[in-house]
């Protein structure tokens, strides 16, 4: 579904850096590209982490987040937005400001929010109250992709905007739920670094290209499952999805 003349639809991505390149901006860039769109990457936080643990998070100044975004929005058409960790409440408000400006030109602009509250090991991924910081972004999101614990913390278990993933549940299958519909995937052995980023970024890339929500959800999940089935090691611990 690429535009004529070789142009690609663009996804404006807000996320933190991950030196292990397993999650965050690196994962988003890979996944958006893999599904056929082009990522425009705005860094919201610098982190000290490997593929297992997050040791430190340093938010980028909100003024710099804004300047990064505006340089891109002035030069490129934005077809979707994907949001990972904002890094701080100030950054969340800045991102919300950018989205509000974009929606003045396109009121139906898809916004995918991956509401990451902590790493898989429970490490904090921002400063202050992460739930409160996400409030201005939740209000603007077209679709939210929380796991079960995140959905419970954010009051999204029954939301018709939330694809609630079942990776944290027990059992031999992973059940993802959205708007009364469910998808069941075989549970794969081991743990993975960047699976949530992969799903949300792929979904944003597909929505940017005009796929209907239900079909984009189906395709993004199938793509993510394939990346996990082919995941590889870079060291002991979590696997890296093959995006």
- How is the chain split into domains, by residue range? 9-229
Distance of alpha carbon 1 from alpha carbon 122, whole angstroms: 39
Residues 31-61: tens digit of each pLDDT: 999 999 999 999 999 999 999 999 999 999 9
- Helical H segments across 139-177, by residue range: 148-154
Tell me 2's DSSP state.
Answer: P
pLDDT at 1: 44
State percent of the chain over pLDDT 70. Answer: 93
Q: Are 169 and 175 in contact (CB under 8 A)?
A: yes
Alpha-carbon torsion 168, 202, 217, 132, what sign? Answer: positive
The residues of the chain scoring below 50 in pLDDT are: 1-4, 122-123
229 C-beta neighbours (distance < 10 Å), count: 12
Cβ burial, residue 51 (10 Å; 0-12/13-18/19+): buried
pLDDT at 127: 55
Residues 79-102: tens digit of each pLDDT: 999 999 999 999 999 999 999 999
Distance of alpha carbon 14 from alpha carbon 218, whole angstroms: 23
pLDDT at 3: 47
- Cα pseudo-dihedral 78, 111, 95, 59, rounded to 10: -110
Q: How many residues does the structure list for the chain? A: 243
CATH number, span 9-229: 3.40.1190.20
Upper half-sphere CA count for residue 122 (Cβ side, 13 Å): 0
- Helical H segments across 106-194, by residue range: 130-133, 135-138, 148-154
pLDDT at 169: 75
């Amino acid at each position: 579904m690429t535009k004529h003349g070789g142009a690609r639809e663009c996804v404006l991505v807000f996320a933190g850096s991950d030196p292990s390149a397993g999650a965050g901006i690196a994962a988003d860039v890979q996944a958006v590209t893999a599904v056929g769109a082009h990522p425009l990457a705005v860094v919201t936080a610098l982190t000290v982490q490997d593929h297992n643990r997050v040791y430190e998070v340093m938010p980028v100044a909100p003024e710099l987040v804004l300047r990064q975004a505006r340089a891109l929005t002035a030069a490129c058409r934005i077809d979707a937005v994907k949001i990972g960790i904002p890094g701080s409440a100030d950054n969340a408000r800045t991102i919300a400001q950018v989205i509000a400006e974009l929606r003045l030109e396109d009121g139906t602009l898809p916004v995918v929010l991956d509401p990451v509250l902590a790493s898989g090991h429970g490490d904090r991924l921002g400063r202050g109250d992460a739930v409160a910081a996400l409030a201005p972004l939740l209000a603007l999101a077209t679709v939210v992709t929380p796991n079960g614990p995140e959905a419970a913390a954010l009051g999204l278990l029954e939301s018709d905007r939330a694809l609630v993933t079942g990776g944290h549940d027990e059992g031999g299958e992973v059940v993802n739920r959205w708007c009364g519909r469910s998808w069941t995937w075989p549970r794969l052995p081991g743990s993975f670094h960047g699976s949530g980023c992969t799903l949300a970024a792929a979904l944003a890339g597909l929505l940017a290209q005009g796929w209907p929500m239900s079909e984009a959800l189906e395709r993004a999940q199938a793509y993510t499952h394939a990346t996990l089935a082919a995941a590889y090691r870079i060291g002991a611990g979590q696997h890296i999805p093959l995006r």
